[in-house]
Every structure is written in structure tokens, then in C-alpha cells.
Amino acid sequence: MSKHEHAHEVQSTIDEIVGAMSSKGWRITDQRKSLAALFAGSEGYQSPKDVYEHMRQKYPGVSFDTVYRNLRLLSEMGVLEQIYLNDGLKFRARCQTHHHHHLICLRCEKTIPFEFCPMKQVPGLPDDFQIVNHRFEVLGYCGDCSQSPGAPSEEPAE
């Protein structure tokens, strides 16, 4: 992806997050724009504590409760995705470009998109159930983390 395409994607994500806030009647403050920019520019997941620490640098008066409440509400609006990883709940901006899923490294939390969608192959779903959304994430260890010292290894076969 070129620098121009990346910059356009970041701005598009900021616009989507700010637009969701606006559509719910939120005042669009510099603090909320900064929150949107943090997620738009981040490739991985952020913990509420990570977000709080980032926001506190520019806005020393911000409270953890306010940050957490905004993360939860943005997740409910569908502009942030959330996942429980090893050390708790994490958030990231929803992918906008097209439908895809992710491989997520349990050590470094790098996310790697992949295009295959397993929903088309799931047998036995009720015909009268209307699916409106789904997520498919594969958790494991990326090539860098699986090769590093102290990396998890497979259990020996018995």
C-alpha cells in the first residue's frame, strides 16, 4: 500500500468513527477526534489502559472511566471491534475496505487479514436464521514470535 493510500485509509477511518459519534448526537471534541485518530493509525489492538495512557498525555484531565465508556459505546456502534486476549479486553478500528477475517498473534497481537470466509462452508445452519454479522478470528503465533526464544512449542506426542 502506498503512503497516499495509507493516508487515505487512515482519514477514511477517522471520518467513519467521527461520523458514528456525530450520528449518535455526540459533540465532536478535539479529544474525541484524537481517540478516532489513535485507532485509525493503529494496526493492532489497544487495551483500555493503553488508550487511557495515550489520551492522558494530551488531555491530562481525562478519566479512565470516560475512556472506557467511549470505547464500549464505539464498539456498540460497530466502528470498533473488541476481543478478549491474554491480558483482557482489547479494541481496534473496524476494517472498512471489504469483508475479511484475521489471524491474531497471541504474543505481539499483530493482526494479519485473510480473505477466506468460512461462513459459506458451515453446514446445518437453520434456514430461518438471518445472519446479519459474524466474526472469525484465528489465534496463534506469527512467524516472528514462534521463532523467538521462549516461544511456545508444540507438546510432544505421547
Question: Grid coordinates standing for 25?
Answer: 448526537
What whole-number distance in Å separates Cα of residue 21 and Cα of residue 70? 10
134 assigned binding-site residue: yes
95 assigned binding-site residue: no
99 assigned binding-site residue: yes
What whole-number distance in Å separates Cα of residue 134 and Cα of residue 140? 20
Question: Grid coordinates standing for 26?
Answer: 455526540
Closest residue by Cα to residue 51 from 77, 19, 9, 88: 88
The strand pairing partners of 76, in sequence order, are none
145 assigned binding-site residue: yes
The strand pairing partners of 137, in sequence order, are 102
142 assigned binding-site residue: yes
The strand pairing partners of 101, in sequence order, are 114
Q: How many CA atoms lie within 13 A of 57 on its CB side?
A: 8
Binding-site residues from annotation for Zn(2+): 105, 108, 142, 145
- Binding-site residue positions: 99, 105, 108, 134, 142, 145
Annotation: binding site for Fe cation: 99, 134
